[in-house]
C-alpha cells in the first residue's frame, strides 16, 4: 500500500518516513503544494497525508482541486494544533480525517488504519479471501487450514494489496509501484518470486496468473 506524504517540514518527513515503512507502507514524499498536487493524481497512492501549510500552493487548495476533479483518494490533513477552523475547512474540502500538530506517530498510524478500514468497508483489522485471513496489525496471516504464517515485509504488503483488490487483475508494474518506493528497487520480475511464496503458503490456486496482464485472486468460492 502506497502513501503519499506532502509536508514541507523536512525533519518531520524524515521522522515519519521510516515509521511508515516499518508499518509496511511504501512512501513517496513531496515538499510543496504544486508537486504534491501533481503526485496525488499521478501516483495513484492508496492514501495521502497532506499538510495544509505548504509553499507553492496551500494544502486546502490542493485538496479542493483533487476533489473537484474526481480524485477520491483518502486524505488525512495535518493542521496546526488548536486551529479548529483549519480542521473544519479541511473536512469541508473533502478530507477523510485530520490530525493536529504535534502528534504521536502511533496516533497517525491508527488513523491511517481507520481511514483504510472505512475505505474498504471492513469492521476490523483483518482482510480475508477464500479462507486466507490477514491481520494487518500483527502482519500475520492464517492459511485455509488454520495455520499461522509469518510474513516478511514485502510478502505482507503484497498480500495486503491483493486482498484489498480481490477482483481486479493487477499488473506487475502496478504491484511493484505499491511495494517499493525507490525506483531503483523496482524490478517487476521480483514480483513473481513473491507471488510464488504466497502460493506456497496459501495454495497454488489462491493467485491466478493472467498471461500478459498480471495476477488476480482466484474467484471467491461459494460456501
Binding stretches for Ca ion (CB under 5 A): 8, 51, 53
Which alpha helices (DSSP H) does the chain contain, by range? 10-22, 33-42, 59-68, 84-92, 105-119, 153-164, 172-179, 189-202
Q: Which is nearer to Ca ion, 31 or 216 (CB)?
A: 31
CB 75 within 8 A of CB 94: yes
Nearer to Ca ion (CB atom), residue 4 or residue 158: 4
Lookup: cell for 6:
506532502
Query: Please, which residue, 3 or 54, has the CB nearer to Ca ion?
Result: 54
CB of 61 to Ca ion, least distance (A): 14
CB of residue 82 vs Ca ion: minimum separation in angstroms? 15
β-strands 207-210, 97-101 pairing: unpaired
Nearest-angstrom CA–CA distance, 107 and 103: 7
CB 27 within 8 A of CB 3: yes
Q: How far is CA 154 from the centre of its chain?
A: 13
Q: How far is the CB of 108 from Ca ion (least distance, A)?
A: 15
Nearest Cα to 204, choosing from 153, 132, 151? 132
Of the two residues 15 and 219, which places its CB atom closer to Ca ion in the complex? 15
Question: Reduced to 3 states, what is the DSSP secondary structure of residue 191?
Answer: helix
Provide, rounded to whole angstroms, the least separation between the CB of residue 51 and Ca ion.
Answer: 4
Shortest distance in whole angstroms from residue 162 CB to Ca ion: 35
Please identify the residue of the shown chain whose CB is closest to the bound Ca ion: 53
Whichever of 80 and 193 has its CB closer to Ca ion, that residue is 80
Considering the complex, state which of residue 99 and residue 163 has its C-beta at the smaller distance from Ca ion. 99
State residue 118 phi and psi, 5-degree precision: -60, -45
Q: How far apart are CA 219 and CA 130, in angstroms?
A: 8
Shortest spacing between CB 62 and Ca ion, in angstroms: 12
Amino acid at each position: 500500500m502506497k502513501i503519499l506524504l506532502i509536508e514541507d517540514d523536512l525533519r518531520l518527513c524524515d521522522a515519519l518516513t521510516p515509521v511508515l515503512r516499518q508499518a509496511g507502507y511504501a512512501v513517496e514524499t513531496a515538499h510543496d503544494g504544486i508537486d504534491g498536487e501533481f503526485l496525488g493524481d499521478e501516483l495513484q497512492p492508496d492514501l495521502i497525508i497532506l499538510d495544509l501549510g505548504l509553499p507553492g500552493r496551500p494544502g486546502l487548495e490542493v485538496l479542493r482541486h483533487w476533489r473537484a476533479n474526481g480524485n477520491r483518494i483518502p486524505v488525512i490533513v495535518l493542521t496546526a494544533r488548536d486551529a479548529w477552523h483549519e480542521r473544519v475547512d479541511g473536512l469541508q474540502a473533502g478530507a477523510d480525517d485530520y490530525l493536529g500538530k504535534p502528534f504521536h506517530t502511533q496516533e497517525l498510524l491508527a488513523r491511517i488504519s481507520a481511514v483504510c478500514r472505512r475505505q474498504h468497508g471492513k469492521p476490523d483489522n483483518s482482510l480475508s479471501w477464500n479462507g486466507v485471513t490477514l491481520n494487518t496489525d500483527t502482519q500475520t496471516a492464517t492459511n485455509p487450514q488454520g495455520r499461522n504464517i509469518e510474513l516478511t515485509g514485502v510478502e505482507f504488503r503484497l498480500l495486503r494489496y491483493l486482498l484489498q483488490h480481490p477482483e481486479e487483475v493487477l499488473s506487475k508494474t502496478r504491484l511493484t509501484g505499491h511495494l517499493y518506493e525507490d525506483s531503483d528497487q523496482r524490478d517487476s520480475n521480483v514480483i513473481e518470486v513473491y507471488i510464488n511464496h504466497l502460493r506456497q503458503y496459501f495454495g497454488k490456486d489462491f493467485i491466478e496468473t493472467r498471461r500478459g496482464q498480471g495476477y488476480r485472486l482466484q474467484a471467491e468460492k461459494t460456501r
